[in-house]
Chains A and B, each alone.
Chain A
Amino acid sequence: MNKYWRSIEELNDSSKLKQEELTNEIANKKALNDPESIETFASTRRDFLKVFGFSVAGAAVVASCKKPVEKAIPYLVRPEEIIPGQCNYYASSYFEENEYCGVLVKVRDGRPIKIEGNEQSSLTKGGTSARVQASVMSLYDLARYKEPLATGEKITWEKVNNEIPQKLEEIAQADGKIVLLTSTVISPTYRQVITELQERFQGLDWIQYDAVSSSGMLEANDRSFGKAAIPTYHFDKAKVIVSFGADFLGTWISPVEFTKQYSSRRNPDLKEQMSRHYQVESMMTLTGSNADERVVIKSSDEGIVLLNLYNEIAKQLGGTTYAVDQSSTDLSFIVRDLLLSKGESLVVCGSNNPDHQVIVNAINSMLGNYGATIDMISTNRVKQGDDRKMSQFVEDLLNGKVDALLAVDVNPVYNYPQGEAIKDAIEKLKLSVAFAKEKQETAEACKYILPLPHYLESWGDTEPTDGKFSLIQPTIHPLFNSRPVQEVFLAWCGKTGNYRDVIKFYWEANVFPKQTDNTEFTSWWNTVLQRGVFDEISVPEEQPIIDVTSLKATTTRIKSVSKTQGDVEVVVYEMNGKGNGAMANNPWSMEMPDSVSKVSWDNFAAISPRKAIELGVDNEDMVALGDLELPVFIQPGQEENTIAVALGFGRSVSGKVAEGAGFNVYPFINVVEGRRMYQAFSTVKKLNKTYPLAMTQTHHSMEGREIVREAVLEEYSRKANAGNESHERHEKHHVTLYDEPEFPAHQWGLAIDLNKCTGCGNCTIACQAENNVAVIGKEQVRNRRIMHWIRIDRYYSENPENPKTYHQPVMCQHCDNAPCENVCPVSATMHSNEGLNQMVYNRCVGTRYCINNCPYKVRRFNWFKYANNEKFDFNVNNDLGKMVLNPDVTVRSRGVVEKCSLCVQRIQEKKLEAKLENRQLNDGEIQPACMQTCPADAIVFGDLKDPESRISKLFEHPRNYHLIEELHTLPSVGYLTKIRNPHKG
């Protein structure tokens, strides 16, 4: 793939830079550089973007039905790297909401349209998360700030750069307090810029603030090791994983990285080496739903459970034990397993309570996991916010001790528990400046609002983990009048020049020396820019020794919580794929059904089935949690007295998409001694109200059908087709009157490893971005009309209080005996000679018989006109949002059926490439969007006609089966049996 990676830096000489500007100008001038025109400029064509090579403006002859004259406007000067109609890929990095991911940006005719994983990244290894996939949409968000504003009025950057430093200067002179509030900064160059700013304005206090913080871990590691940092974890090296409420596959620290590591060990063919995963938690997380064993505890009991676990292990290993209440939860089987795999185990905890984390540190230390599965030397930097500093700042702010605030890409008004008070305080400040990408609560409270560029528009660098560097490069000229915050800060320091040069300068001085292979900086820089990443070769170091005294002080604070503090415990969490609320205005993200509950567009009070009966509530009934009224969702696997509610909803100031979606539960966060705790006690009361929830799946049992086939590892090691015994029988029963279908060259197939799939939903959004899948809004989702081509079915079995969970991605199975094909009267769907089940939108008249006759129900109908329709005011209703559309894929009109095409546009593209290069296709060359970005490597695509291909091997695998194969539909999609690895005995 290397060949396609280009970097703008290749055009380094000045004349070419000029060209670049010119190109961007041409590409963007017409519609985009004038922010007002974006709202008013209306195109008459439903998919005006499906143009190639030149921009086209349709102009219908006034009031007559003549063919509209179309214009073809070529580039004035075509930039060398842009071939109209061809895609370029640029390596870049994603870092938003504390999540890091190395990415490739697919740019078509000058606009980024898709994010892919960067396989060169040693951290994320080509995986992405749903949030990363959705981030490209935020680039084209109408709610973005388009101009610098001062008290609501447009001002120029020149004025900004004059006025603000002046005021800052005044405040600094008067010994006033200036606070720079940012989210975690992982960019080394940015840090340097901030240092310069601090030097320029004496008394400028820099605070990093994370909406969902891991401050507890920083503090615990400070206590244990004297290093306030988050270690790096190696789930791939752990045979036994015990997680206490850490949703490491969904939202915890670095989920893409962890999913890659985790899934690599979820291979049953590793036999005994396959990892075993215990999850001890109070609510059903995505990670918990993937665990081999899941133990349900109260979140308030976590400390006791942890200390008991510590004591058990200490007893066995001869360590110090501490007095503590006996926990009612029996974890002896975990203890046994942990002791059996010393140095190959990993205990993690999601709590923000440093005491808990200290115990976890002690356990890991006893088990010898430091240096093996945990690395405390090379630490993770994605969460650096310090709760106590932040709460001190809030206290100061509320007491009027702060004079000026520079808030960069943070939103405490929304996501800090005392948000309203903070808002009032900010409004009273002498100077308040917000740097923000799009409409948000804090910015609206500030005097100055300075638009930030999207990461796809800006330069940057990152160091998410010590020694792992990566670059962010712009893939489009800024759409709006925004400037990178670093450039603005430098301007305030009296320096001019663009940020790219600053980064280059920094890298030349600080990163370049970290390697020895290259001697010439520019060529090295170009390589790094092409690859996107640079890893410093680390020298192995001795892990720090744990300070045991830290534990002793901690244990005294671990006590049972008395029952008097309320009826129920409320746990607030980040929803997988939705994040902390910064992306709430992203329609893709909002419409993605939550991986566990399968609810989209809202958050809800997740209540255990038993509690629901006790309260007499059902789904969609409302309950009052303290003062907050929330709809109920009955979540199997929830601790009986724990109610979980997701953060990140209920934005009060935002774009149109986020309006009215869900409820803000940040106020539930407790600030205890300056630390934010994500649990609270509350009362619960049934209300006589209902609230509609957009559920995409309402039946949760497999009804005893062999939909997800499973076995346990022990059986599997004895018998290769364990759990999949019926496959052979069904194969034998495949008798047909007709000849087996034959395909001359290729037969495309897809294999899905149910053991690796975590159900994270990244593929859903990747597919949505690749295939222009429409967003339809809450009401229509609730009507069960979601358009996603790949859905993830989630089933529960056994005990509803702690069920076994199954995730199964289902897309068009491309059956060779497809029931849908037979019944279409107009030949809108039939088989290709490459085994694809074809769907021709322009032939479809919409009888929907194919939908009815599809046993997998993967066909989607365009119930309404979803593009250019006021009633569906999402991205394809405005010309800015339409920029994200993939020009290779038709935007479907009302009344036609659509479905997964196995990314036929990618197949065709690669076939053409092979033809042009006069060669055959290579296995693995074609990657559908779902496969390319799967962080778990659960999806494999390939040619079934090629006996050597990976897919052919997988189809021969004894675990392989087809969905409802007894119907003899001969699907081209295979599933690999899920093999669980529960503890023995």
Chain B
Amino acid sequence: MKNKYLLGVFGDEEHLLDAFEDLKANSYKIEEVYSPYPIHEILTGMGHKTRMTHAAFALGVVAVLGLLGFMYYAAVISWPLIYGGKPFNAFPSFIVVTLVATILIVTLGTLFFFSARAKIFPGKKAEIIHEGATDDKFVIVFNASDIKDNKDELYRLLKRHGVEDIVEK
């Protein structure tokens, strides 16, 4: 880590949110916010967006077409076989597999997207910024270079909103 970080550690959600809104209002550049559980206001406030839902939908479309296509190929073109007097293309029978297998493919695919985009994967070493961020602390992280001009003001602002601790790293 080349950069120095400044961490504002809060004890509860209300104070964090107050501070967060104030910081946003004062157009501080917030590097990241760490919390033990997802806080809707922060997620929207940070301005990130994810297109995972779109990816999942696209995956679903591909899966449905692929599965139906595969089953049609296997049952009608590749080696047609007669089962119980049914026609080769016993379409309604294919629906069940299509449905379930699509769900499976979408799930696994979404997990993969998630893993890739959120960089959450087996063996990853966590870059822990603050030990309490997964327990009971809410941490706002600033990049030291972004705030070196108005550091004191920031300190004051944070303290005003009941910050428990300010750590420079």
Q: Does residue A830 face the partner (Cβ distance < 8 Å to B)?
A: yes
CB nearest to B85 among chain A residues: A817
Tell me the B54-113 residues at the A interface (CB within 8 Å). Answer: 81-87
CB nearest to A822 among chain B residues: B84
> Could you tell me if B81 and A827 are in contact, using CB atoms closer than 8 angstroms?
yes
> Could you tell me if B81 and A741 are in contact, using CB atoms closer than 8 angstroms?
no
> Could you tell me if B87 and A821 are in contact, using CB atoms closer than 8 angstroms?
no
Q: Does residue A831 face the partner (Cβ distance < 8 Å to B)?
A: yes
Report Cα–Cα, A738/B82, bound state, in Å. 12
Q: How many of chain B's residues have a CB under 8 angstroms from any CB in A? A: 7
> Could you tell me if B87 and A831 are in contact, using CB atoms closer than 8 angstroms?
no
Q: Does residue A739 face the partner (Cβ distance < 8 Å to B)?
A: yes
Interface code B135-166, partner A: CB below 8 Å = 1, 0 otherwise? 00000000000000000000000000000000
Report Cα–Cα, A698/B160, bound state, in Å. 89
> Could you tell me if A830 and B87 are in contact, using CB atoms closer than 8 angstroms?
no
B54 to chain A, nearest CB (A): 35
> Could you tell me if B81 and A822 are in contact, using CB atoms closer than 8 angstroms?
no
> Could you tell me if B84 and A818 are in contact, using CB atoms closer than 8 angstroms?
yes
Report Cα–Cα, A815/B85, bound state, in Å. 9
B1 to chain A, nearest CB (A): 55
- Which of B81, B83, B85, B86 has most A Cβ within 10 Å? B85
Chain B residues with Cβ below 8 Å from A819 are: 84
> Could you tell me if B81 and A830 are in contact, using CB atoms closer than 8 angstroms?
yes
Chain B residues with Cβ below 8 Å from A738 are: 85-87
CB nearest to A837 among chain B residues: B84
Q: Does residue A970 face the partner (Cβ distance < 8 Å to B)?
A: yes
CB nearest to B86 among chain A residues: A738
Chain B residues with Cβ below 8 Å from A830 are: 81-83
Chain A residues with Cβ below 8 Å from B81 are: 827, 830-831
CB nearest to B93 among chain A residues: A822
Q: Does residue A816 face the partner (Cβ distance < 8 Å to B)?
A: yes
CB nearest to A820 among chain B residues: B84
A40 to chain B, nearest CB (A): 46
B88 to chain A, nearest CB (A): 11
Report Cα–Cα, A129/B24, bound state, in Å. 100
A746 to chain B, nearest CB (A): 15
CB nearest to A853 among chain B residues: B84
Report Cα–Cα, A504/B85, bound state, in Å. 59
Chain A residues with Cβ below 8 Å from B84 are: 815, 817-822, 831
Report Cα–Cα, A821/B81, bound state, in Å. 10
CB nearest to B79 among chain A residues: A827
> Could you tell me if A739 and B83 are in contact, using CB atoms closer than 8 angstroms?
no
Chain B residues with Cβ below 8 Å from A739 are: 87
Chain A residues with Cβ below 8 Å from B82 are: 741, 821, 830-831, 833
B70 to chain A, nearest CB (A): 16
Interface code A807-839, partner B: CB below 8 Å = 1, 0 otherwise? 000000001111111101001001101000000
Report Cα–Cα, A610/B87, bound state, in Å. 55
CB nearest to A817 among chain B residues: B85
Chain B residues with Cβ below 8 Å from A833 are: 82
> Could you tell me if B85 and A970 are in contact, using CB atoms closer than 8 angstroms?
yes
Chain B residues with Cβ below 8 Å from A815 are: 84
Report Cα–Cα, A824/B85, bound state, in Å. 14
B100 to chain A, nearest CB (A): 14
Report Cα–Cα, A471/B85, bound state, in Å. 50
A164 to chain B, nearest CB (A): 68
> Could you tell me if A822 and B87 are in contact, using CB atoms closer than 8 angstroms?
no
Report Cα–Cα, A830/B82, bound state, in Å. 6
Chain B residues with Cβ below 8 Å from A818 are: 84-85
CB nearest to A824 among chain B residues: B83
Chain A residues with Cβ below 8 Å from B83 are: 821-822, 824, 827, 830-831
A710 to chain B, nearest CB (A): 30
Report Cα–Cα, A830/B86, bound state, in Å. 11
Chain A residues with Cβ below 8 Å from B87 are: 738-739
Report Cα–Cα, A739/B87, bound state, in Å. 8
Chain B residues with Cβ below 8 Å from A822 are: 83-84, 86
CB nearest to B83 among chain A residues: A821
Chain A residues with Cβ below 8 Å from B85 are: 736, 738, 741, 816-818, 831, 970
A824 to chain B, nearest CB (A): 8
A115 to chain B, nearest CB (A): 36
Tell me the A708-728 residues at the B interface (CB within 8 Å). Answer: none
CB nearest to B92 among chain A residues: A737
CB nearest to B75 among chain A residues: A827
Interface code A736-773, partner B: CB below 8 Å = 1, 0 otherwise? 10110100000000000000000000000000000000
B90 to chain A, nearest CB (A): 9
A921 to chain B, nearest CB (A): 22
CB nearest to A736 among chain B residues: B85
Chain B residues with Cβ below 8 Å from A816 are: 85
B85 to chain A, nearest CB (A): 4
A406 to chain B, nearest CB (A): 64
CB nearest to A819 among chain B residues: B84
Chain A residues with Cβ below 8 Å from B86 are: 738, 822
A900 to chain B, nearest CB (A): 17
A747 to chain B, nearest CB (A): 13
Report Cα–Cα, A820/B82, bound state, in Å. 12
B20 to chain A, nearest CB (A): 56
Report Cα–Cα, A258/B86, bound state, in Å. 46
B19 to chain A, nearest CB (A): 60
CB nearest to A740 among chain B residues: B85
A81 to chain B, nearest CB (A): 41
Report Cα–Cα, A919/B80, bound state, in Å. 30
B83 to chain A, nearest CB (A): 4
CB nearest to A818 among chain B residues: B84
Report Cα–Cα, A833/B83, bound state, in Å. 11
Chain B residues with Cβ below 8 Å from A831 are: 81-85
Report Cα–Cα, A741/B87, bound state, in Å. 9
Chain B residues with Cβ below 8 Å from A736 are: 85
Report Cα–Cα, A60/B86, bound state, in Å. 45
Report Cα–Cα, A815/B84, bound state, in Å. 8
Chain B residues with Cβ below 8 Å from A821 are: 82-84
A827 to chain B, nearest CB (A): 6
Interface code A871-897, partner B: CB below 8 Å = 1, 0 otherwise? 000000000000000000000000000
Interface code A235-250, partner B: CB below 8 Å = 1, 0 otherwise? 0000000000000000
B17 to chain A, nearest CB (A): 55
Report Cα–Cα, A685/B31, bound state, in Å. 98
Interchain residue pairs with CB less than 8 A apart (19): A738-B85, A738-B86, A741-B85, A816-B85, A817-B85, A818-B85, A820-B84, A822-B83, A822-B86, A824-B83, A827-B81, A827-B83, A830-B82, A831-B81, A831-B82, A831-B83, A831-B84, A831-B85, A833-B82
Q: Which 3 A-B pairs have the closest CB atoms?
A: A817-B85, A831-B82, A822-B84
Interface residues of B (CB under 8 A from A): 81-87
Other A-B contacts than A827-B81, A827-B83, 19 sampled, CB-CB below 8 A, are: A736-B85, A738-B85, A738-B87, A739-B87, A741-B82, A815-B84, A816-B85, A818-B84, A821-B83, A821-B84, A822-B84, A822-B86, A830-B82, A830-B83, A831-B81, A831-B82, A831-B83, A831-B84, A831-B85
